[in-house]
Amino acid sequence: MALRSSFAQQDPQFTHYMFNTLYYNPGFAGVEGITKLTAIHRSQWLGYSPTVGGGGAPTTQIISITAPVFKLNSGFGAYIVNDQLGPQNNLEAQASYAYHLGIKNSKLSIGVRAGMYSQTINFDQYRFIDPNDPLLGDKRGSLSQVRPDLALGVYWRKEKYYAGVSFNHLLKSTFDFGLSQRNSLQTHMYITGGYFYEVNFDLKFQLMTIIQTDFTKSTVNLGGIAYFKDTMWGGLSFRSSEAAILMLGYSLLKDKSLKIGYGLDYIIQDQAAKQPTSHELMLSYELPVNAGSGKKVVRTPRYRH
């Protein structure tokens, strides 16, 4: 297997993108008006085994926090991502700041994110056509490089609507590992949007989408979730030309501050090159509201006001 100058996947994908907006858009930091911790583990193409080389199926973990800063009309967010792609591992540590503008009965948030992006390659897991290839040199074992990263985003939300657009990897940092060929982070654009509809006091629906593109290839996600008594939810989603997705979740504790979710992706295209299912677990916890903040918060599956 030859080492190439670009890799198949730069940014990980998440089934629970609607609960993981901070990862896609720094403008989301603090918008909900609560402090929330979120953790997600994704096992993609479970059981996949490469025909050559090593590394196994992709796995991804993310831990994030978002919190409002009421005195500054702003919000803070941070996350760590570990993305294992066979012989390549990507590690991110990013921090976001967003300024919130009140516009009539809506909120516009403008955010910036900065941090580090690390790539590690285990050259021993590659099977090279020519082990003496001069492009390979004496590369053996694992090598790592760390580069800066930058993103910008705008997020708008109203009582029943929300939308956002963001751009990440604006620095287009390059990883070369001492080779003549280079792998650069490509700028990605994310467009998110959604709508909440209340059928009655017990039943609510959320319609949502995310469009992601590196300006060469684009992916569209469309889906819907039904919430029953603000306690349990279930939904379906579709990722263009790849997968159909089932999502289930439940809220725990008396104030429903602890949420657990499960997502199942079923591959409907190119099954011969992948395994048919991907699995994702999500856990989130909303910290108790500080009575001195001057903000009254009612916990619901929609955005806080």
Q: What pLDDT sits at residue 144?
A: 87
- The reply to whether 27 falls in a domain is yes
Average pLDDT over residues 231-258: 93
Q: What pLDDT sits at residue 22?
A: 97
Q: What pLDDT sits at residue 240?
A: 87
Q: What pLDDT sits at residue 72?
A: 95
Domain count, the chain: 1
Give exposure, 201-225, as e/b (b: 16+ Cβ within 10 Å).
eeebbbebbbbbeeeeeeeebebbb
- The reply to whether 298 falls in a domain is no
Average pLDDT over residues 141-153: 91
Structure tokens at 50: 């490469």
Structure tokens at 62: 């993310």
pLDDT band at 51 (very low <50, low <70, confident <90, very high): low
Beta strand spans in the chain (E)? 36-43, 59-69, 74-85, 88-103, 106-122, 142-157, 161-168, 174-175, 183-184, 188-198, 203-213, 218-228, 232-239, 243-252, 258-267, 277-286
- The reply to whether 8 falls in a domain is no
- The reply to whether 7 falls in a domain is no
pLDDT band at 15 (very low <50, low <70, confident <90, very high): very high
| Residue 303 reports pLDDT greater than 60 | no
- The reply to whether 303 falls in a domain is no
- The reply to whether 268 falls in a domain is yes
- What CATH number should be reported for the domain holding residue 282? 2.40.160.40
Nearest to 79 by CA among 122, 119, 118, 114: 114
Average per-residue pLDDT for the chain: 86
Average pLDDT over residues 243-255: 95
Percent of the chain with pLDDT over 70: 80
| Residue 66 reports pLDDT greater than 60 | yes
Residue 21 DSSP SS3: helix
Structure tokens at 38: 């979120």
Average pLDDT over residues 214-236: 94
Q: What pLDDT sits at residue 126?
A: 66
148 DSSP assignment: E
- The reply to whether 5 falls in a domain is no
Q: What pLDDT sits at residue 74?
A: 97
Q: What pLDDT sits at residue 2?
A: 37
pLDDT band at 92 (very low <50, low <70, confident <90, very high): very high
- The reply to whether 43 falls in a domain is yes
pLDDT band at 180 (very low <50, low <70, confident <90, very high): low
Query: Which domain range does residue 164 map to?
Result: 17-293
Average pLDDT over residues 228-253: 93
Q: How far apart are CA 236 and CA 256, in angstroms?
A: 22
Q: What pLDDT sits at residue 305?
A: 36
Nearest to 278 by CA among 251, 243, 241: 243
The residues, ordered by sequence, that sit 6+ positions from 218 with a Cβ below 8 Å of its Cβ are: 211, 212
Q: In 12-168, which residue ranges form alpha helices assigned H by DSSP? A: 21-24
Structure tokens at 233: 């939810």
